[in-house]
Structure 1
Amino acid sequence: MPSIGNGQLATGIYTDTVYMNGLYNGEKGESHRARIPSQINIRMDVTLSVLCVYFADCFNIDTSLSVLSFGPGMFIERVTLVDGAIVEQRTFAHRAITSLLITQITVDFSQSVSDSVTLSLSDNPGPVSEDITFTPSQNYTQGLPGKEQTGQTKVVEDAQYQSSLTNVTVIYSEVRMHLQSPLSCRLLLLMKKHPALILTVRIQAITTNIEIILSVWLISELYQTHVDQWKKIWDSGNILMEGPNLELAKVVCGSMYYLLSSLPNEPIDANRRRFSGLSPGSLANGAFLRDYQGHSFWDTETWMFPPVLMLWPYVAKDLLLYRMSNIGAARDRAAGSNNQGARFPWESAFTGTEVTPDCCPETRDNQQHITGDISFASRQYWAATGDTKWLYGENYSFPLEVLYFIFQCVMPPDEDHPYVDNSIYTNVIASYSIFFAKHAECECGAWMTGDVPETWLDVARKMKIPFDAERNYHPEFDGYQPGETIKQADVVLLGFPLMYVTDPVVRRNDLDIYENVTRVDGPAMTWSMHAIGHLESGEEAKGAAMLNRSYQPYLIEPFKVWNEAQNHKGAFNFITGMGGFLQSILFGYAGLRLTVEKLTCNPILPPGITNFTLQGESENIKEEKINSLLNCNLF
């Protein structure tokens, strides 16, 4: 089943669990998303036999029983009774009022010949939360009839960086479990020329820092304000496709929807909880010992950040602010090993301290490249937006601090080799970090605190880049032998996203050599990078094959959810893979290339697509880049 979310709250359809942005419980490696029982897990049983009504277009996916509507971001169940009345249940995470989850049931009598409709409802909020200590439910007295609970998480993540437990308030409106709609309601509706009666609404409000009064929102307006906000988001950034390959267009729409469902839609302000990162399994998942427990990895900056930056740059800034707000823990970790700068954790949750479980010491200790990944994302944000306030004011020391690196005995992106020297990816992105720090120093001038030592620049210029002249390719690290199996994309990342300048023949050799040794059971995003590489090399047939390979084995129908690996293994609703897939569309077929100096576009139509449009807003984008990026039809 799919999930619904608004960047603040998310839940899987027909599950008993709600997760909240930044709400974690457990110490360090046991830190995981704190479970909130779902009060909108409602099922309806119509007493009359039913015929199903469903619909489908680019933004809707049907199962003959229910619909996930990507446009307005909601799950819809719709049944037509034998007497012609239509009953519809809509479930959505309100996009404008992000503390609300809503289930709304309506009845359309316009074609009905019966006097009444009877519904029996059941709800299943599941067991008591093991992560939050809630007070007993009490009557809610400040608005709509309902119940209220207050609670508190049980364990802080790291007492050095989290001074107190997190408070949670849950309010939900009451719903009768047996409902009847009489003929008088139908006549009243017809007289007013309304097609449908709102039979019942269950609203669940969840907050940590502001008071919720349910009566201030008119129920009749909740649906429309939600739809309007989603339209605003789609208008601000979208990928539109026309042509017979409707399946590809649906996967693109679904990937954007699930990614957006885990992201805030407005810049940070006083009324919104601080954004706490993207996790591979989305905001709707992250239980203890499942779906990476809701932690953030390099997945954020390397796989999900690039499409967010291209389509919704105002949200991309939030991803960087999450890292910047936790830089204290990163500084302390670097200092603890007698190094300068900041060492970001491999897994991060609320405080920014290292929360990788003890089961994975090699990844926790040796995956050094994440610090460079964050620096590279910062560079790309600066290149895309020219946001001088961010670079000069909010962020003036950030490029200088992201300089912690060790080059011996590291784990590259290929996690099958945990102890190697001179990982080519790690070395290249380390040198990029130093050069970007120097660029930021030059841009900021007097605003910059500190400077980049010449010795660091000398290290960057002389960084070892492994190369095999006989075979004319890049070994992954010192001592790598062709034919050694790897887990996932590594060397191919030099061509993209790093855009490391190399001979086209070497680039093709890298693609071919590593394509043949990558594990079949590796994560989904690998093949999107191969698709980009082949398209860049003019090999359209190989590019199309890699595009299909990047999503088809990982997709679960009918709602376009993803698994991390094939055969339904790994993290569920794997938005890391979706981010990589969207990159194959934006940087493969649209051919976008973003550098500090310029943005270029070299488009190729995807298979079965006749018209391909990137849509976005120009706010905060460098003016000289607008015409190249936004509202550009790619024929």
Structure 2
Amino acid sequence: MLLSMFEFTPVTVVCLTIAVVSLFGRTDGTTGDERAHTRTRNIRSVLQDDSLRTRISLPRDDSMPATVVPDDATILYSGSLPNNTKFMPEVGNGHIATVVQSDTMFMNGLYNGYNKTSHRARIPSTAGYSIDKVLPAELTRSYTLDVGRGLFTESHLSDDAKISLRTYAHRLYTSTLVTELVISRRNNDTEVGALVRLNSGSPSEDIDFKDLSDGLIHGRTLTAEYPEIAGTTEFYMKVSPSLHGVVRLSPENLTETFLAVTVIDVHQEAVEAEYAEVIKAFEEGTLLSSHVNEWNKLWSSGRIDVEGDANIAKLNYASLYYILSSLPSNGSRKDWPFIGLSPCGLAHGRKDQDARGNVFWDQEIWMFLPIALLYPDLGRLIVETRTRILESARKNAQQTGWEGALYPWESAFTGLETCPLAECSLYVHINGDVSFMIRQYWQLTNDKELMINGSGAEAVWETAKYWCSRATYESITDAYRITGVIPPDYPHQSVNDSSYTNSIAAINLAFANQLALEFGKAENTTWKEVENKLHLPYNAVEDFHPEFDGFNVLDDVEEADVVLLGFPLMVPMNISTKRNDLTIYERLSKIDRVPTQTWSSFLTGWLELGDEIKAAELFARSLRNVQQPFLVWSQYENVDDPTNFITGMGGYLQSVLFGYGGARLHDNNMTFNPRLIPGTTAVKFTGINYRGCNFDVHYTKDTMTVTLTAIMPGHRSLDILFEDKINWQEMMNGQNINARRQHFIIRSSQ
């Protein structure tokens, strides 16, 4: 008998969850401290015993839907899991996410902790399933992360039987986590089953759960981030029978699929509708296919393919997958907005770990640009994470004694400062980072609606006011100085005239006036004066930019800083100065202490100077932080915390698109200077979006094809100018334009 080989475990854990969360939670002023007596319990402890309830199942296995991307570049296969569980992969849809088989789930916007202790509120997992034992016992176990379809699967296989446990965060039903256990056999003589385990872990320290009725659970975070802005968050969970325990194939069936889902939403009325839609889709056999179809839409709109190196091909897709898994597929929601990209994504961020789920400058400088280039709607969504909290930024500036708006170094639910360190108030370059992202989005899309109605221009103007308030005029040198800051190279505390800070502040001020003129306002002469007279440290003897006034060239460097002046800031400088900046700061960088995205900055700089050998060396160095078999990234080499470091993936994608692709954004055009990625024989960028048009770039060592693939309604076509041509050529939709591989320019048709 099947049960004789298993240690039976009663079924008492969640498999179907539906949650409703109010936008600002409680409004009665109750604080976490006042409710300290409330007992916080695990989800398991507040559920009634559902062992007698029937599991959700159907006697079929829906065939695996086709995908538009190549399986050999998107399926990451392994016969075993990583020894270090921090390198386990994740599934997410921008609203809900989990590391597979872990004891934790996170939801966008659900935070717990007062003031600077805010962190993602941990929900004990209802989807952390794994298989402990199987019958027949000789089945071979394997694991796959299918980034093309957005699935993680644990499989047990023989000639006569197959058991598959797949987990995915649904891209159509955007509040849903799905687990499907599929059991199949060749004939009815073979008994097949599995002992399934659910890892729900210890009780949550962030949420109090209470059982309300049959499968309905009330949850509430314990402590509001800033109670004067927003109270604690309440939500509700409804559960159905769990897959935890013994699951076996019914005697009459050759195949059976068992379902467990977790659904989280923010409106009471949406709960039953989502539940009904998910169950109906499962019954009709469209639950999996509708999920894969949404991934197909994403990959069809934008992706990176290479030939000649299977590892690079997989890394491109995996890097996009992990970042996209932390971005909502249903756009911006006014009722429950997307908070932003944390350095370790949505599946990480519990208390004192993985950046606590807070948003840093990583989003603006490292992750935004490659996503916006391929997925402009998602680019806008990222920009809106900053325009949404403009009032909080204004309040932050007032509290620190300055005018305008000052974005927090770390932000979570309210948009106020959540960095636990006192010196975080000196990371003022975040203001320039936010404005710079808005500038890049403007150059890429010319989205006037966001600028006017979405507070994009207002955010730029308010940060410009801050810089003018913060800068101090020095009459002796006739220059403005910004003192007492922390530059991107953070070990240097409270320095004066950071090269990066002053450069990005000047760009912020110039862009503020550019937008003023664009929208019929007069040029602000104060902004203009401060922009023109901001001091930029420069050592004329050694022809390089010191990190700040008084910088010692014998100091260690731990973060990309001055090299960012070359890219992405594109600060005008002599070629010799750029070369010296790269040489000096690479020499000072501590290889074992520099985060992986730093090397992409150096790589891009050397490619601008035409040194492909040096760039290849740095490209290889950046890949040392990629962890097999599921291509999870660590921030530092040989260090497992924090993970999964999507900041590093953003830097890597920049090295592919803007380093080897040579893409550059300008006010009135976009340029490319494509080179082959080391080890590849061909590269194809699908779905580059510029000013309402999509185009593909496909190139080899010698040849290149550029194809306009779509023109959005209300937009003009594109013109292209090759380096070896004199005249611009209008691009026709669907027409392949062939040329030798070379520098070229794209602009909106005149």
Q: If the length of structure 1 is used for normalisation, what is the TM-score?
A: 0.90
d(CA) in 2 for partners of 1:538, 1:112: 63
User: Which of 224, 235, 251 is the equivalent residue of 1:156?
Assistant: 224
d(CA) in 2 for partners of 1:532, 1:430: 22
Cα deviation, residue 444, structure 1:
1.1
Corresponding position of 1:344: 407
Q: Which amino acid aligns with 2:235?
A: V
1:206–1:266 CA distance, 2 compared to 1 (3 A):
closer
1:49–1:347 CA distance, 2 compared to 1 (3 A):
same
Describe the superposition over 1:162-213 as per-residue Cα deviations: whole angstroms up to 9, x where unpaired: 1x22122223331353222245212xxxxxxxxxx34311111222324323
d(CA) in 1 for partners of 2:325, 2:686: 19
Corresponding position of 1:125: 200
8 Å CA contact 1:26–1:32 kept in 2: the answer is yes
SS in 1 for 2:130: strand
User: Which of 256, 259, 264 is the equivalent residue of 1:206?
Assistant: 264
Q: Which amino acid aligns with 1:36?
A: I
Describe the superposition over 1:355-387 as per-residue Cα deviations: whole angstroms up to 9, x where unpaired: 101xx322x121110000000000000000011
Corresponding position of 1:477: 548
Corresponding position of 2:62: none
Cα deviation, residue 29, structure 1:
1.0
d(CA) in 2 for partners of 1:25, 1:626: 51
Question: Does 1:527 find its partner at 2:599?
Answer: yes
8 Å CA contact 1:36–1:129 kept in 2: the answer is yes
Corresponding position of 2:152: 75
Cα deviation, residue 546, structure 1:
0.7
d(CA) in 1 for partners of 2:239, 2:616: 48
Describe the superposition over 1:22-41 as per-residue Cα deviations: whole angstroms up to 9, x where unpaired: 11001111100001111111
Corresponding position of 1:136: 211
Q: Which amino acid aligns with 1:562?
A: W
Unaligned runs of 5+ residues in structure 1 are 53-63, 140-146, 187-196
RMSD after superposition: 2.1
Cα deviation, residue 523, structure 1:
1.3
User: Which of 361, 379, 384 is the equivalent residue of 1:316?
Assistant: 379
Question: Does 1:29 find its partner at 2:116?
Answer: yes
Corresponding position of 1:421: 496
SS in 2 for 1:40: coil
Q: Where in structure 2 are the equivalents of 1:142-541 lying within 5 Å?
A: 147-162=215-230, 164-175=231-242, 177-186=245-254, 197-210=255-268, 211-213=270-272, 214-217=275-278, 218=280, 219=282, 220-243=285-308, 245-269=309-333, 273-357=336-420, 360-362=421-423, 364-395=424-455, 396-403=457-464, 404-405=466-467, 406=470, 407-445=482-520, 453-520=524-591, 521-541=593-613
User: Which of 687, 700, 704 is the equivalent residue of 1:616?
Assistant: 687
Cα deviation, residue 296, structure 1:
0.5
User: Which of 578, 600, 603 is the equivalent residue of 2:674?
Assistant: 603
8 Å CA contact 1:39–1:125 kept in 2: the answer is yes
8 Å CA contact 1:171–1:206 kept in 2: the answer is no
Q: If the length of structure 2 is used for normalisation, what is the TM-score?
A: 0.76
Cα deviation, residue 112, structure 1:
4.6
Q: Which amino acid aligns with 1:75?
A: F
Describe the superposition over 1:428-450 as per-residue Cα deviations: whole angstroms up to 9, x where unpaired: 100111110111111111xx6xx
Q: Which amino acid aligns with 1:268?
A: S
Cα deviation, residue 625, structure 1:
5.3
d(CA) in 2 for partners of 1:208, 1:387: 29
Describe the superposition over 1:454-480 as per-residue Cα deviations: whole angstroms up to 9, x where unpaired: 022111011111111111111111111
8 Å CA contact 2:135–2:191 kept in 1: the answer is no
d(CA) in 2 for partners of 1:273, 1:625: 37
Q: Which amino acid aligns with 2:234?
A: N
SS in 1 for 2:179: strand
d(CA) in 2 for partners of 1:50, 1:346: 54
Q: Which sits farther off after the overlay, 229-238 or 399-408?
A: 399-408
Question: Does 1:582 find its partner at 2:653?
Answer: yes
d(CA) in 1 for partners of 2:352, 2:653: 28
8 Å CA contact 1:167–1:208 kept in 2: the answer is no
Q: Which amino acid aligns with 2:302?
A: G
SS in 1 for 2:634: strand
User: Which of 114, 138, 142 is the equivalent residue of 1:50?
Assistant: 138
Corresponding position of 2:634: 563
1:625–1:475 CA distance, 2 compared to 1 (3 A):
farther
8 Å CA contact 1:564–1:572 kept in 2: the answer is yes
Q: Where in structure 2 are the equivalents of 1:34-113 lying within 5 Å?
A: 34-44=121-131, 45-52=133-140, 65-81=142-158, 84-109=160-185, 111-112=186-187
Q: How many residues align?
A: 594
8 Å CA contact 1:166–1:208 kept in 2: the answer is no
Q: Which amino acid aligns with 2:109?
A: G
Cα deviation, residue 626, structure 1:
8.3
SS in 2 for 1:273: coil
1:533–1:215 CA distance, 2 compared to 1 (3 A):
same
8 Å CA contact 2:120–2:357 kept in 1: the answer is yes
Identical-residue share of aligned pairs (%): 37
1:95–1:167 CA distance, 2 compared to 1 (3 A):
same
Question: Does 1:19 find its partner at 2:94?
Answer: no
Corresponding position of 1:61: none
8 Å CA contact 2:98–2:105 kept in 1: the answer is yes
d(CA) in 1 for partners of 2:187, 2:687: 43
Q: Which amino acid aligns with 1:361?
A: A
Corresponding position of 1:55: none
Q: Which amino acid aligns with 1:399?
A: V
d(CA) in 1 for partners of 2:483, 2:305: 45
1:465–1:185 CA distance, 2 compared to 1 (3 A):
same
Describe the superposition over 1:120-170 as per-residue Cα deviations: whole angstroms up to 9, x where unpaired: 22222122221111112642xxxxxxx3312111111112321x2212222
Q: Which sits farther off after the overlay, 398-407 or 571-580?
A: 398-407
1:157–1:119 CA distance, 2 compared to 1 (3 A):
same
8 Å CA contact 1:84–1:113 kept in 2: the answer is no
Unaligned runs of 5+ residues in structure 2 are 1-87, 471-481, 694-714, 722-730, 742-750
d(CA) in 2 for partners of 1:206, 1:150: 12
d(CA) in 1 for partners of 2:242, 2:544: 65
d(CA) in 2 for partners of 1:47, 1:232: 38
1:377–1:625 CA distance, 2 compared to 1 (3 A):
farther
Q: Which is greater in Rg?
A: 2
Q: Which amino acid aligns with 1:151?
A: G
Cα deviation, residue 77, structure 1:
1.2
SS in 2 for 1:572: coil
Describe the superposition over 1:92-113 as per-residue Cα deviations: whole angstroms up to 9, x where unpaired: 111111211111011233x457
1:106–1:411 CA distance, 2 compared to 1 (3 A):
same
Q: Which sits farther off after the overlay, 115-124 or 326-335?
A: 115-124
8 Å CA contact 1:158–1:351 kept in 2: the answer is yes
d(CA) in 1 for partners of 2:440, 2:345: 23
